[in-house]
Amino acid sequence: MQSGKILRQRYKIIQSLGSGGFGDTYLAEDLDLPGEPKCVVKHLKPKSSDPEVLAIAQRLFEREAETLYKLGKDSDQIPKLFAHFQEGTEFYLVQEYIEGQDISKELTPGKKLSESYTINLLKGILEALEIAHQNNIIHRDIKPKNLMRRKSDKKVVLIDFGAVKEITVLTTNQPGTTTLTVPVGTPGYMPNEQRNGNPTLSSDIYAVGILGIKALTGQDPRSFSRNKNTGNIIWRNEAQVSDRLANILDKMALDNFRDRYQNAMEVLESLEETTPVPPPIPPIPSGNRPRYRREILIAMSGFAAAILTRDLWNRFIEKETDPSVQLTKTSIQKFETVTVNAKGETISRSQHQAEVIIENLGNGVTLEMVKIPAGRFLMGSPDKEAGRYDNEGPQHYVDVPEFFMGKYPITQVQWQAVMGNNPSKFEGENHPVETVNWYKATEFCQKVSQITGKNYRLPSESQWEYACRAGTTTPFYFGETITTELANYNGSEIYASAPKGINRGKTTNVDKFPPNAFGLYDMHGNVWEWCADEWHDNYTGAPTDGSAWLDGNKNRSPLRGGSWSNYPFLCRSAIRLYYNRRVDHGYDFGFRIVCDDGRTL
């Protein structure tokens, strides 16, 4: 296509970005949007004009466009699909333009890169690929040219999924059957089973493994010799690499696809063991610790109140005051809760009050911590609860000691004050911070502990669910359902008999919706919240004392509460999701923190 051509009276071609056997790619402008932002147009043209082939190509195109749309929506490391259309016998995709350069600029021939670079590269690719593999989608053409290093955040973005290219190589070989004229993929990165037309998820793993070997050796993957007995490539003598990483790469690039890692998630778990966990930040030495004298006010929740006297508090708090440190404030805060029926109709409103400690994080930024009273609750969901997963059982009683919990998820302004940056996609001071992995959330807790002299950490799963339910046993603390007037979630689906709502498509201010009976906000929706526990597939053998469960999968931790992007059944009080602790690409992953009591460290 010539520069200046306009497709659909909207997409103006600027220049060619590349051309090959599977189609052409162009840089374009979207004339309908303010500022005429850049986009990428992919032009796909079947080689055969046979009506039967075109009909199959059309069905394949629609299916793959739907896949690309979902992947782009679920991951910021896969370009978003803006449009797809057909003109005559030709097909077009319009996708997000990724400003940056492809990885081939980093993998220059003859240059051997470090092990730490290679590990980071592998993780970047696999974290992008993880979303596809979770949806059972094979990329089919992973190679340096299809991996972009985005300029804005240096993340790896996975482009040019191979399945949609099949429409360009379809042909007929006998009446009623079609076949591919050539396999989709690139020599050197394409394993045997893919070359034979039978790709699997582990075919992508092979390609990523070859990329890692190329980074370490500086050699073209087609130049490696192979073991005559196994068919596996021989490469270790060309690189300086630890046995641990070499073993992982060997398994990724095995000739027999059944013996490889089967998906991106498995490789990521193995790679976690190659990177040491940052050591915890040490407690403040007692000689440098802030020393306070404070009075505690009245602790009340609903029908009960308990007065902590000055003497009781002084058992935990040092009596001398450092005039250079601003005292932590306390207050009694009043609020209103809402209860709805299965139709989402408000059936009652109640007045409550809670004790709140207000910590000073510096620069005028504060952290509000709500006192959660001790109590017993039934954890998990009943068998007949709509949307229930098996990992939410068996139900069991847990006795939870008193603790303090963040009134809101950690906000971007709080994160900025403590960590000095803002990783969030949806910017807003009082929006929850997102795109945060478990280790970064834990590091935040450690730094807040240093600032305040108290022990802050992520909540246990039982603390989180106890605090979320706030005395309720219904699917939501609002009652039998939720509506988009009560929480931020994807309202295009319903729960129980509630009406459909809106899908905001992003996070919202943390104080936008009503709290629960403990005075906590946003426990349903907005962002998933990390917990301290290691992942277990169900509650068999779970602690009953409110503590974190730490003898499970050490690479995974639970997230609770659902997010802005999820349907309401994924925002229930009992819902559990797990993710790799190092994954931070999810722009709906956030957290809130807890403190076991008012004591100093």
- Catalytic residue numbers read 141
Whole-angstrom CA distances from 322 to 247, 290, 315 are 55, 6, 18
Number of other CB atoms surrounding residue 178 within 10 Å: 18
Q: CA–CA separation, 493 vs 153, rounded Å?
A: 33
* Biggest distance spanned by C-alpha atoms of the chain: 91
- Respond yes or no on whether the N-terminal peptide bond of residue 515 is cis (omega within 30° of 0): no
Decide if 23 contacts 44 (C-beta within 8 A): yes
Question: C-alpha 93: how far from its chain's center?
Answer: 26
Distances (CA, A) of 484 to 74, 134, 344, 349, 498: 21, 28, 10, 18, 10
Cβ atoms of 313 and 594 within 8 Å: the answer is no
CA dist 383 → 68, 124, 395 (Å): 35, 39, 9
What Cα–Cα distance (Å) separates residue 590 from each residue in 111, 324, 500, 561? 39, 32, 26, 10
Helices in 453-599 by DSSP H: which ranges?
A: 461-469
Cβ within 8 Å of residue 50, ≥6 positions away: 171, 172
List beta partners, residue 23.
Answer: 20
Q: Which two tokens stand for residue 110?
A: 């003859």
In order, the DSSP letters of 566-590 are S-GGGGSTT-EEEEETT----TTEE
